[in-house]
A and B are shown apart, each in its own frame.
Chain A
Amino acid sequence: LAKTTQPISMDSYEGQEVNITCSHNNIATNDYITWYQQFPSQGPRFIIQGYKTKVTNEVASLFIPADRKSSTLSLPRVSLSDTAVYYCLVGDIASGTYKYIFGTGTRLKVLA
């Protein structure tokens, strides 16, 4: 069964940069990599999306190596309100048919 893996949890202090990596070995050739933030009892919220190299928006950066088998979400200067679970989402073809696969999720705790 295709797995898209992430570290289970991370702790960080306010003001630090946080990098969360997702491994997606079976990503579909033309597929984009998307990252989401989820708070308890809410739906995942879109953070950033990219296809290759580096993408930056007002809240995060996304780094994608040339082989696209992994990606790293970078959150600059985190605050307490960034405490949440972060997921990557990719299209996967490991089963022979295209399907969306969420990563296992990384629980980020930001400490004061």
Chain B
Amino acid sequence: DSGVTQTPKHLITATGQRVTLRCSPRSGDLSVYWYQQSLDQGLQFLIQYYNGEERAKGNILERFSAQQFPDLHSELNLSSLELGDSALYFCASSRGQYSNQPQHFGDGTRLSIL
């Protein structure tokens, strides 16, 4: 158990809809990261927050947004969903904001778009 909690584990919805994925980091971790894993694209970095502030940004679509709240949990919002958004979405957390402290991953939210 990594200590990172993601909810829900599974989500099924339709094209055009909006969903929110939630992540609770390990106790004491200040950074939260979001990744998307699909068969054709592998593991893709979306965004990192550190203590509530955006720290690094990857290939995150404009339809997607994220934030980190004062209690350090994070939410990833996906809107105007398309079939291609079907994927596993992982959250990770780390103590600091730099790569010298490893990221620890949750078990993901599996999003299926019908």
Contact = CB atoms under 8 A, between A and B. Distances in A.
Bin chain A's interface residue count.
20 to 34
Interface string A15-38: 000000000000010111010100
Interface in B65-102: 90, 92, 98-100, 102
B107 A102 contact: no
B105 interface: yes
Interface of A: 28, 30-32, 34, 36, 41-46, 49, 51, 87, 89-91, 97-102, 104-105
For the complex of A and B, list the 6 residue pairs with the smallest distance between their C-beta atoms, beginning with the closest. Answer: A43-B105, A102-B43, A100-B45, A32-B99, A99-B58, A46-B102
Interface of B: 2, 4, 33, 35, 42-45, 48, 56-59, 90, 92, 98-100, 102-108, 110
